[in-house]
Amino acid sequence: MKKISLSFILLLLMLYTLPCLAQQTGFTQEDRERLVRVEATLKVFMEQVDKRFEQVDKRFDQMMNFLWMLVVLNCIN
């Protein structure tokens, strides 16, 4: 009797959880649109980061040139 009860409970549990596992979570149009917006935002962000890196690189080059000028002036004196 105990085995039958346990088997019946397991069967009910399997029948209850099976539809949940079988459901497909589809990729909706809303998901696609959201992904497109995220990609566009990411592209803008990456362009801004690249621009900022270029500005920092340019500033670093200016500082190095200035330091070299100071070194040359100190060597001349």
Domain ranges of the chain: 1-76
pLDDT tens across the length of the chain (77 residues): 667 777 777 777 777 776 666 666 777 889 999 999 999 999 999 999 999 999 999 999 999 999 999 999 889 87
Q: How far is CA 40 from CA 10, 12, 30, 31, 49, in A?
A: 49, 48, 15, 14, 14
Torsion of CA 30, 32, 35, 40, to 10 degrees: -100
Residue 44, token pair as written in the block: 């803008």
What pLDDT, on a 0 to 100 scale, did the predictor assign at position 19? 65
What's the whole-model pTM score?
A: 0.54
Place of tokens 């500005």: 55
Distance of CA 59 to the CA centre of its chain: 29
Residue 75: its H or E element: helix 29-76
